[in-house]
Structure formats: structure tokens, C-alpha cells
Chains A and B, each alone.
Chain A
Amino acid sequence: MSPEPHPRHGLKQTLLSPVRLSIVAALSEVERADFKSLGAIIELSDSTLSKNLATLEEEEIVSIEKGRINRKPRTWVRLTPAGRQAFHAHLEALRATISTKYSGLED
């Protein structure tokens, strides 16, 4: 019987960046967030947030839409269903990585 693959294989490459992981974790708790509010929560500059959101959008983890509220332009960001699934799988892989350590200590 072949051994189980190491949990790290379940990690999502894009989410190994702490900044992108923070963005996705924050979005996992909301229906949608506007650009400014998201930046304020994660304490990121507009340029860093914009760059990382572009990467996440390219990977189809987030979707970005522009709109207007009370005649003011707003950029809305939300987690896609695939992004939510990837985030949960990534969390599971992280937990499995930790439990691998402790099960190894018991041996």
C-alpha cells in the first residue's frame, strides 16, 4: 500500500503568501467588501492590495466588480465559490501539516 501523500500537496500555491491568505481569509467572512474597507482591515496600501487582488482574480479565487453607491464609484471584491473551496482545502492542508508534526513526535 502506498503511503498517504504529505499534506503540503494540498496547499494552494497562491495562498502561501501571507498577504493573499489574509485577503482571502477576510473575504471568507463577508458577502463582499469594497476595496478601501478591505485594505483597512488587512492594513495594506492601495498598490499592494491592488497587485495581490489582480493575482487572486487571475486565479479565479476572487471576483472584482465596479459599481456606484450614492453616485460614488466603488470597487467590490468577493470570494468566488472556487476560491472558497480552495481556501478551505488550504486550511485543511495547514492543519494536516501541523498534526503530521505531532503524530511524528508520538512515534
Chain B
Amino acid sequence: MTTSENDDSYDRGPEHAMDDLGTAARSADRARAGSWRWVRIYLLVWALASIGLVIGLGLDDKAVTISILLAWVILSLVGGIWSRSRGLTPRGGARRIGRAAGLWAACYAIVLAVGVTRQSQTSGFWIAAAVFTAIPLVVAALIPAPKAADVS
């Protein structure tokens, strides 16, 4: 349905049109910021957890390593439930999380392959490796949210 000559309610001049565009832009900006906020938090917490996990793998103490692995599993479950319960799903959010997860898995596999096969790794290696695995997640969290439409 569009406006017609007989539509008495129509009174949109240029000033009204500017107001309407401003209204739309404000709503769109708030929705975009709100919907991406939890994605950023999710990815940054994941990055921190990944640092803890990889450092935990490099420790000599088996009990501490097992505790960290257990904490990782619990945090993954809680993170999954928490992300599903968010009220706003950003456009492209799942794709970004999926790509970050894929890159994280690749980095993690490289770290494991190098770290476990070479028994003489130093603690410096594990700290550097931990930061390395966090990079894709931090980058994904910090990339600006894309605009779905040019509402301005």
C-alpha cells in the first residue's frame, strides 16, 4: 500500500522526511549496537578462556591441567546456553562467530601439533601460543558491526 492523492493523512514534506530518516537511523543504530554487544563479549570471553586453556596445557602439573580442561568444558556449555538466550540476533553474527571458531580451531590445532610433539617446549612457548590462539577471536570481536542498510 502506498500513499495516494486521496490520502488525507499524508503530510510528509522534506522536513518530515529528514525527521523520519533520523528516527530510522537512531533505531537501526541502537539495534545494531545492542545485537553485536553480546557477540563481542562472547568472543572476548572465549579468547580469555583460550589463553587459560593453552597455558594450562603447557603446565607440568597434571591435576591443574585436568582442572583447566574441566573448566573449559563447563564454560563452553554455559557460553552456548547464554548465547542462545540473547534477545537480539545480529545479521551476520552467526557467520562471524563461525569463521572465528574455524580460525581458532586451526590455530589451536597448530599449537597442539607443535607443542605436544616437541617435548622440550618452554613456558614462553605456551604463553606465546596462548596469545596466538586468541588472535582470531579478538579480531572478530573488534571488527566494526556491518550496517544492514544505509539508514541516514
B116 contacts partner chain A, Cβ-Cβ < 8 Å: no
Does B70 count as interface, using CB distance less than 8 angstroms?
A: no
Count of chain B residues near A, Cβ 8 A: 41
Is the Cβ of B149 less than 8 Å from the Cβ of A88?
A: yes
> When chains A and B are docked, how far (Å) is the Cα of A59 from the Cα of B1?
9
Contact A29 B1 (CB under 8 A): no
Instruction: Convert B85-101 into 0s and 1s, putting 1 for each residue whose CB lies closer than 8 angstroms to a CB of A.
Output: 10111110110000000
B85, A69: Cβ atoms closer than 8 Å: yes
**Are B31 and A30 closer than 8 Å at their CB atoms?**
yes
B14 & A16 in contact (Cβ 8 Å cutoff): no
Query: Is A9 at the interface (CB under 8 A from chain B)?
Result: yes
A31 at the interface (CB under 8 A from B): yes
Q: Contact check, B12 vs A28: say whether CB atoms are below 8 A apart.
A: no
| Extra inter-chain contacts (15) besides given A25-B23, A29-B147, CB under 8 Å | A8-B3, A8-B12, A9-B2, A12-B1, A13-B3, A13-B7, A16-B3, A16-B10, A21-B20, A29-B149, A30-B88, A41-B27, A74-B87, A91-B24, A97-B12
Binding site for B on A (CB under 8 A): 8-14, 16, 18, 21-34, 36-38, 41-42, 59, 69-70, 74, 87-88, 91, 94-95, 97-98, 100-102
| 17 contacts across the A-B interface (CB closer than 8 A) | A11-B3, A11-B10, A12-B1, A12-B2, A13-B3, A18-B20, A24-B24, A25-B25, A29-B91, A30-B35, A30-B89, A33-B89, A34-B88, A38-B87, A91-B21, A91-B150, A94-B21
